């Protein structure tokens, strides 16, 4: 199967255009490590938001460690506003598939307070949901076989790109 993806910068521009009418200057973007953080940084600049982008590591809230997901050596600290109470948050990630990463992100976020609203922005929705989760903002829906992965990478110059590969442990 041959899949051609638009350039990541084009997807980010399309995502920003979808979000622009619905965010206010004090909306907080919460990027999920790692790809979501890179995207949130770009969106923050495009949308002109006043609140700096936040970041979140969902490793300790994952429920699928036995599949090799989640815990990473060293981990990364989450950086959220002192309180999320009453805030409008947009969780940002690169790819939405099962919904488990978002579930873990919500658990982490609610440890900090109760936001007024939480939305989800992703570059690609690849289907395969295991939980009832949908992106609020998404410029590309793409069906991929279960054994295929879609990975976001950043090179030394800061350029983002997607690559298709085989999932770990896939037959």
Domains and CATH numbers, the chain: 8-63+75-166 (3.40.50.2020)
pLDDT digits (tens, 9 = 90+) for 20-30: 999 999 999 99
Exposed / middle / buried, residue 6 (Cβ in 10 Å: 0-12, 13-18, 19+): middle
Runs of H (alpha helix) within the chain: 8-19, 35-47, 100-110
**pLDDT tens across 70-93, in order?**
444 446 788 888 778 999 999 999
Is residue 109 within 8 Å of 117, Cβ to Cβ?
no
The 10s digit of each residue's pLDDT in 108-135 is 999 888 999 999 999 999 999 999 999 9
Q: In whole angstroms, what is the distance from residue 89 CA to residue 63 CA? A: 23
Q: For a pLDDT cut of 90, what percent of the chain falls above it?
A: 71
Is residue 97 within 8 Å of residue 126, measured between CB atoms?
Answer: yes
């Amino acid at each position: 199967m041959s899949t051609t993806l638009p350039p990541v910068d084009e997807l980010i521009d399309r995502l920003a255009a979808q979000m622009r009418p619905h965010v206010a200057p004090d909306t907080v973007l919460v990027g999920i490590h790692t790809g979501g953080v890179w995207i949130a940084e770009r969106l923050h600049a495009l949308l002109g938001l006043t609140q700096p982008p936040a970041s979140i590591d969902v490793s300790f809230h994952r429920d699928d460690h036995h599949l090799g997901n989640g815990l990473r050596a060293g981990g990364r600290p989450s950086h959220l506003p002192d309180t999320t109470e009453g805030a409008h948050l947009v969780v940002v990630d690169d790819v939405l598939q099962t919904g488990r990463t978002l579930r873990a992100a919500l658990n982490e976020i609610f440890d900090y307070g109760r936001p007024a609203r939480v939305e989800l922005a992703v570059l690609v929705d690849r289907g395969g949901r295991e939980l009832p989760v949908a992106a609020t903002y998404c410029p590309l829906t793409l069906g991929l076989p279960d054994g295929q992965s879609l990975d976001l990478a950043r090179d030394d110059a800061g350029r983002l790109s997607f690559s298709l590969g085989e999932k770990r442990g896939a037959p």
